[in-house]
Amino acid sequence: MNDALTSLNGTHELVWSLLEAGPKSKAATANLVVLATSSIENGPSARIVVLRHVDRVSGILRVFTHAASQKVADLNEDERAEIMIWDPVEQLQIRLTVNIEVSHVDSETWSRLGPGTRLNYAVDPTPGTPIEAPENARQATPEASQMLCLNARVLSIETLHITSDGLSRAVFQDGTSQWIAP
């Protein structure tokens, strides 16, 4: 077992190091994360997204998405969301409570994106439109206006660590940390 997970401080440090490693490698635990949103009409909605940038100082995680996607509509209605991560090596579940601000991609970010990444956010017709068959969705010319940044501000972190001795669960919020019953 990772010794870091036996203390609250060590657990907090490990969480942020896992998050920071996410955007740097496709093999990293926090490269793909589950983002859950909700809306009154559709209820809860969860999907996998790529973590593109993590800034521990500001506590902001960044994801890219298509401007016409359902998650953007959800977030325009309710900025509250959750991000879930499972680390099979550490046997650690990480639950992040976040508020998400939606913003346009600035020209510097857009210019740094590879053509493959840009194409991920260019589809015709727009995401979610009913079509006869998969081939009826065409690759459109990427446009910066179709791509949005989801800037997720971390409000609290909850961890659940599974060991052969049992479960340990902790909450980190507003600079405080606390073990809680699993």
Ligand X SMILES: Cc1cc2nc3c(=O)[nH]c(=O)nc-3n(C[C@H](O)[C@H](O)[C@H](O)COP(=O)(O)O)c2cc1C
Residues that bind ligand X (CB under 6 A): 32, 45, 47-50, 63-66, 69-71, 127-128
Closer residue to ligand X (CB): 45 or 177: 45
Question: What Cα–Cα distance (Å) separates residue 146 from each residue in 67, 68, 101?
Answer: 5, 7, 16
Q: What single-letter DSSP state applies at residue 137? A: S
Please say whether the dihedral angle defined by the alpha carbons of residues 101, 120, 34 and 57, taken in this order, is positive or negative: negative
Nearer to ligand X, 115 or 166 (CB): 115
Nearer to ligand X, 32 or 162 (CB): 32
Least CB distance to ligand X at residue 125 (A) = 14
User: Shortest approach of ligand X to residue 5 CB, angstroms?
Assistant: 27
Measured from the CB atom, is 4 or 67 closer to ligand X?
A: 67
CB distance 66 to 146 below 8 Å: yes
Report in angstroms how near the CB of residue 160 gets to ligand X at its nearest. Answer: 23
Residues 98, 102, 106: CA angle, nearest 5 degrees: 125
- For the CB of residue 71, give the shortest distance to ligand X in the complex, in Å: 4
- C-beta atoms surrounding 146 within 10 Å: 20
